[in-house]
Structure 1
């Protein structure tokens, strides 16, 4: 259950980052409300996951999902560069989070 909560926290973190960009573009109240709700849900699920998982592992994986997911959303929906080097470094962030789980 903790890993599912951690995955949900990471996905809500990605949604929050996407809403930040959307709010920056359109300045609508719906975007800011979704931004607040997304980050709130992200922290809630992270705190649930941290009841079982070690703080360092949970935080590293949560940030890895959020950072990588935000970069991927930017590439897919906001026209950011899809250079192979960006993709390589995103893969390195994700593999580092997996590696941290494997050794802990």
Structure 2
């Protein structure tokens, strides 16, 4: 169960780093780059911890899909980026894929 917490915090760190990158993209100070790289590094570290018990395909799909959805929501709500129907349909497909990957992982596991 703690691997799922690591995965969730990996998503939060990735989304935070990407949001900071967008918000302060014109700030070229070393400190800003250190902050961004720290969040991205923490995200990858936690993702590595998560894949010790969660199948890599499921963990990566969750990390990428949920992160993408969160970044899109932040882009739309905070940065006023457009969200056409094609993107909404695409995100729906991603979430269905994540659910199917997780379902396939649970059904395919051997219980001893």
Fold shared, TM-score > 0.5 on shorter chain: yes
Structure 2 SS opposite 1:66: helix
The structural deviation recorded for 1:29 is 4.3
Tell whether the 8 Å contact from 1:68 to 1:93 is kept in structure 2 after alignment. no
Whole-Å Cα distance in 2 between the matches of residues 26 and 80 of structure 1? 21
The structural deviation recorded for 1:41 is 1.2
The aligned counterpart of 2:75 is 74
Structure 2 segments unaligned to the other structure (5+ residues):
106-112
**TM-score with structure 2 setting the length:** 0.79
Deviations 1:48-74 (Å, cap 9, x if unpaired)?
A: 111111112111111112222222211
Whole-Å Cα distance in 1 between the matches of residues 29 and 70 of structure 2? 23
**TM-score with structure 1 setting the length:** 0.85
What RMSD over aligned residues (CA atoms) do the two structures have, in Å?
A: 1.7
Number of residue equivalences: 104
The aligned counterpart of 1:96 is 97
- Structure exhibiting the larger radius of gyration computed from Cα positions: 2
**Higher mean C-alpha deviation, range 67-76 or range 45-54:** 67-76
The structural deviation recorded for 1:28 is 4.4
Alpha-carbon distance change, 54 to 87 in structure 1, aligned in 2, over 3 angstroms: same
Greater helix content: 1
The aligned counterpart of 1:2 is 3
Tell whether the 8 Å contact from 1:11 to 1:65 is kept in structure 2 after alignment. no
Residues 43-82 of structure 1 mapped to structure 2, 5 A cutoff: 43-82=44-83
